[in-house]
Structure 1
Amino acid sequence: MALPTTSSSAFLSYNLPIKAYGAQFKAFALQKSDKKAENTRKIAMTEDQKRRNLLGKEFEGKNHLPRVEEEANDGHRNTSDERITNSHSISDSPASATRSAVLKACSVTSGILLALGLLIREAAHIASVEGWLNLDSSSELSFGLEIWHIQLVFSIVVLVSSCRYMLLKIWPEFAESSEAANQKVLGSLQPLDYLLVAILPGISEEFLFRGAILPLLGLNWKSSLVVGAIFGGLHLDGSRKYSFAIWASLVGFIYGMATIVSSSIIVPMACHSLNNLVGGIIWRSASSSENKD
């Protein structure tokens, strides 16, 4: 009995499907592997992009931080500059002394000037009696007041006040100096205080300069000019400039001539006090009008 034989064609008929299925499986496996690799690559790219974005934000934040700090510093510098500017503006503007300080200074200074004037007059009288000087100031000038003295006082007050008003309009430096002095002395005073700060200096200063010093140099226009220059020079201070000193020298010369003409110390005292009062009233009125505007 012959055994069945397996032909090569039959083997191939069974083997070909198996190989085909193996190839398909391998192809499927490779496809799955490729997809997995692609997904892994995409995930890796996504993670890498996230890291890059995060690093980019941190970098921008670091770059932005100095800018914010710089802007903050600029704001601080601007605020500081504004404060400095405001402080300069405040410091530049004339500050008023307190009312009590002004009244105290006026009273004390006037007392000192009166005492000094009395001392000079007494020394001149003793020197005249002893024969050291031919001029006795206590006898050359009196404290009398006649009718025509009143007319002289009125005329001088009108003259000085008118000249001062015109100079305030045409001489900026004088106007600035006068404003600074008035603001410093008169800014904190009450209306009735103006009488005190007008009369006390008027009496004490004239008693010293025109009632004591002028007679020692001689009752003439040259001596009046010298005493006026001394009087004006002593009016120089931080708020009053040379323009004010020149004006005070001129006014001092006028008061000296009034003293010589009248032979009375009361005349320059009255002129000085009234001019102080008129000037103070005009300044207060002008300041009140500016504040209302």
Structure 2
Amino acid sequence: MPLLTLDACWAQAGDASPTRFIGASVFKGEEFIGLNDTANHCHATWCSVCRVSTSRALVRCSAKRSRRYRRPQKIVDLDLQVDQSSSKTNVADRSSSTVEDAPSVDVSSNNSSANSTMSISSRGTVLQACAVTSGFMVALGAIIREASHVAFMEGLTVIDCTKAISFSFETWHLELVTGLVILISSCRYLLLRTWPEFAESSEAANRQVLTSLEPVDYLVVSFLPGIGEELLFRGTLLPLSRNNWNSVLLVAALFGILHLGSGRKYSFAIWASFVGLMYGSATMISSSIVVPMLSHSLNNLVGGMIWQYLKSESSE
């Protein structure tokens, strides 16, 4: 039931003394409550109000604290997320750095060794390629020579290759062949000793062709290309290009250019051009295709023997 307080008076005795209740007329409904009872009642009521207000203040403070700490919690959560993301980034960086810092494999050396292995052809492959290529050049040269003969007999202004460069052979041709073999083989040996680029190109070509061959196979790979190449270049192209010294130079340059590739560089092309010039000169002097054929074949054979000798010398 509510209290009605009238004429409440408060007095303060001094700064040091607490506030005390003086008197009041208090009615509880229609019933009058005395001064002492009023004081006690008011004191009890006031204490209860204070307790309620204090409890409410505490609740408010706790609520404020909770609201106050919610945001830092979010910040902490964000910090944790940032730390986690940074840790993931660090892990990724460490993994990438681990991959980057891993020892690299020398691919170039593996490729070079693979290329050196692949450059060595088998015995059957070398013999087959030699036979097919030489046979093609022999067939092409023979067809062109016969066609030029037929065209000349029909009255066309074409040089008859069969008449200009024949298959005749005389005794003094042996001296010419011997001189060519000595000259070319000696020059080859000197260049192998003094010209590193030529030695490298020659080594690449010989290793590709001669490594897997038997000793008897050297005769095949020496004579078949010698016969086929000379029949096509000196027995056909040389007379068709007017059969003069300018033709010798032109055919020799073409012969050298066609010897590029398969590990053979410009140095080997220069050497092949020089050799073609020697064979063309011998053809012009002898008017026989047999002389360059024999010279070319024997020089191939001697070149293979020189390569085997230098190989055994280096291995020792």
What is the TM-score normalised by the length of structure 2? 0.66
Equivalent pair of 2:148/2:158 in contact (CA under 8 Å): no
Unaligned residue ranges in structure 2 (runs of 5+): 1-90
Q: Does 1:144 align with 2:168?
A: yes
Partner of 1:22: none
Partner of 1:18: none
Partner of 2:226: 202
Unaligned residue ranges in structure 1 (runs of 5+): 1-64
Structure 1 residues 72, 111: closer, same or farther in 2, change over 3 A? same
**Counterpart pick for 2:299 among 246, 264, 275:** 275
Partner of 1:25: none
Structure 1 residues 124, 88: closer, same or farther in 2, change over 3 A? same
CA distance in 1 between partners of 2:136 and 2:145 (Å): 14
- Structure 2 residue identity aligned to 1:179: E
- Structure 2 residue identity aligned to 1:280: G
Deviations 1:134-153 (A, max 9, x none): 52111122212211100100
Structure 1 residues 124, 285: closer, same or farther in 2, change over 3 A? same
Partner of 1:90: 113
Structural RMSD (CA)? 2.3
- The aligned length equals 225
Equivalent pair of 1:236/1:244 in contact (CA under 8 Å): yes
**Counterpart pick for 1:158 among 182, 195, 199:** 182
Partner of 2:211: 187
Partner of 1:117: 141
CA distance in 2 between partners of 1:88 and 1:239 (Å): 15
Between the aligned residues of both structures, percent identity stands at: 54
Q: What are the within-5 Å matches in structure 2 for residues 1-293 of structure 1?
A: 77-78=102-103, 80-82=104-106, 84-91=107-114, 93=116, 95-291=119-315, 293=316
- Structure 1 residue identity aligned to 2:110: S
CA distance in 2 between partners of 1:238 and 1:286 (Å): 21
Deviations 1:23-47 (A, max 9, x none): xxxxxxxxxxxxxxxxxxxxxxxxx
Equivalent pair of 1:125/1:137 in contact (CA under 8 Å): yes
Deviations 1:254-290 (A, max 9, x none): 1011011111110000000000000001101211232
Deviation at 1:167, TM superposition (A): 1.4
Equivalent pair of 1:124/1:133 in contact (CA under 8 Å): no
Answer 1 or 2: which has greater strand percent: 2
CA distance in 1 between partners of 2:211 and 2:187 (Å): 23
Deviation at 1:72, TM superposition (A): 8.1
Answer 1 or 2: which has greater helix percent: 1
Deviation at 1:238, TM superposition (A): 3.3
Partner of 1:270, secondary structure, is helix
CA distance in 1 between partners of 2:201 and 2:111 (Å): 19
- Structure 2 residue identity aligned to 1:243: S
Deviation at 1:74, TM superposition (A): 7.9
What is the TM-score normalised by the length of structure 1? 0.71
Higher relative contact order (CA 8 A, sep 6+): 1
CA distance in 2 between partners of 1:72 and 1:89 (Å): 28
Deviations 1:102-127 (A, max 9, x none): 00000000110001001110111111
Partner of 2:162, secondary structure, is helix
- Structure 1 residue identity aligned to 2:243: L
The runs of at least 4 consecutive aligned structure 1 residues that moved more than 6 Å come to 68-72
